[in-house]
Chains A and B, each alone.
Chain A
Amino acid sequence: MKITWKPAVGGAVLLLSTLPGHADASIDQYLNFSGFGTLGAVYSDYRRADFTGEYLQPRGAGFSHSVTPTPDSDLGGQADLRIVDGLTGVVQVISRDNEDGNFSPHVEWANLKYAFTPDLAVRVGRTLLPTYERSDSQNVGYALPWVRIPNEIRYSNSATHSDGVDVLYRFKTGSVTQDLQVQFGRTSEDFSGAIFRGKDLVVLSDTVQYGSTSVHLAYQTMMYTFATRPPARFRLASAGFTYDPGTWFVTGDSNFAHYDFFGDFYAWYLSVGMRFGQFTPYLIYSTEDAPDASPPAGLTMLGDERTAAAGLRWDFAKNVDFKLQLQRVTIETQHAPASFNLVQPGLRVGDKANVLSLTLDFVF
């Protein structure tokens, strides 16, 4: 996930930030700084692979170390800029364990947004992709009900961000609000040893909100190259939902991805939680399955695993939460199970890993 800083966008933001804003009756500030972070620790009792916080991380807990802070720990800072009425900019930099196994910061968001009306806006620059329901805030622990987004749902998608342009349109039909997003751009992600590059990236996303219920639908396609392979097509369709009336929630997400070279991937999760004052216990079941049909890559069942998890979020102080999550991962492939890296000889299909994660999430 090494992301090269685009000087053009950065320069534009810096330049525009020096322009005087129009005086008006609005009470917004012109420049706002905020941030978020997570301090985490993960223990895994499974010694034949490392449990990671996302598939790009080269190391984790289990084989290399029994306890490690790297899977979930991160720190992000954001500057929000209001340039003139309707024109805003955002830059977010985040430090998180990456494909090189270090925490060198990268730019997660950097875009300029122009709102023609409160309901119609265009953005130019870098955004996180709305691939699944929580993909655009996947590293903001405080905004998540769990320690992390289930690894299975992240696995089928190689690209997390887009450099390009997108249009946001919100409209209301009775009490139903829809947020439509159309995105065009390109992307790249560094994997250990090879780069994934995507171009002609098109994403359509719709978030339908009706009271406490929301449904997220998305479709994504691009032409990609990986290592020395010729260009191939990637397609992904996803559907997720959340019902959260306040005292409890149920949420689920699913996606189907097809790579011309790597084949098909199905992933989904379902989670429920109850709120008791400061405490929110939850359960998650998640799974990823790449069917047996032999893709050209020859690697069948890439990522296959399933996870049952139980956890607790404790909002013990202002702007800080503590989470504890216990999970059992059942490995269903010898080819890079979604949550693991550094797979060692002796790993067998059916092996189970018990993982304990603790995090302290904060926002400021």
Chain B
Amino acid sequence: MKATALSLLFALFAAHVHAEDIVVIVNPTAKPVSKEQIVDAYLGRSAELMPVDQTVGSAIYTEFYKKATGRDVAQIKAIWSRILFTGRGQPPKQLPDSAAVKKIVAANPNAVGYIEKSAVDATVKVVLPLD
């Protein structure tokens, strides 16, 4: 029994370390961006960058917000509800996958997105690894 519990714990731990690393990306022509600017963009505090999202509730979405902002999905929704229903802005556009995020970031000099580290290619520039 003890051994089962222990191996389960190990399995969970292993799964955690092997969870894919997420990186924040911008256009290759963009100036360097700080973590603070990224957090401000995704929490609707700044309009200097154009953030794009992955599907709300997807693993990468949940992981990104937890790591970058320390907030969970419901808190993010509450923050953007306040911004939306006071006419101050729209939440980041949701895109279906990392390929779609790369496409938008590669085409917009002020766009910012997040994808799996393994999905990075020359069309985008990594500004912040999240681990």
Contact = CB atoms under 8 A, between A and B. Distances in A.
Nearest to B48: A118
Contacts, number: 77
A27 B104 CA distance: 8
Interface stretch (B3-11, B12-20, B84-92, B116-124): B84-92
A246 interface: yes
Contact of B81 (A25, A111, A142, A175): A142
Contact of B85 (A25, A92, A113, A319): A92
B77 A32 contact: no
A34 interface: yes
A140 B85 CA distance: 8
Interface string B71-104: 1111101110110111100100100000000001
Contacts of A25: 107-108
Interface residues of B, number: 30
Interface string B40-59: 10000111100010001100
B46 A177 contact: yes
A80 B74 CA distance: 22
A360 to B, nearest CB: 14
A278 interface: yes
9 contacts: A27-B52, A111-B87, A123-B87, A134-B82, A140-B85, A246-B75, A275-B75, A318-B77, A319-B77
Interface of B: 36, 40, 45-48, 52, 56-57, 69-75, 77-79, 81-82, 84-87, 90, 93, 104, 107-108
Interface of A: 25, 27-28, 32, 34, 36, 76, 78, 80, 90, 92, 109, 111, 113, 118-119, 123, 127-128, 134, 136-137, 140, 142-143, 170, 172, 175, 177, 209, 211, 245-247, 275, 277-278, 315, 318-319, 321, 363
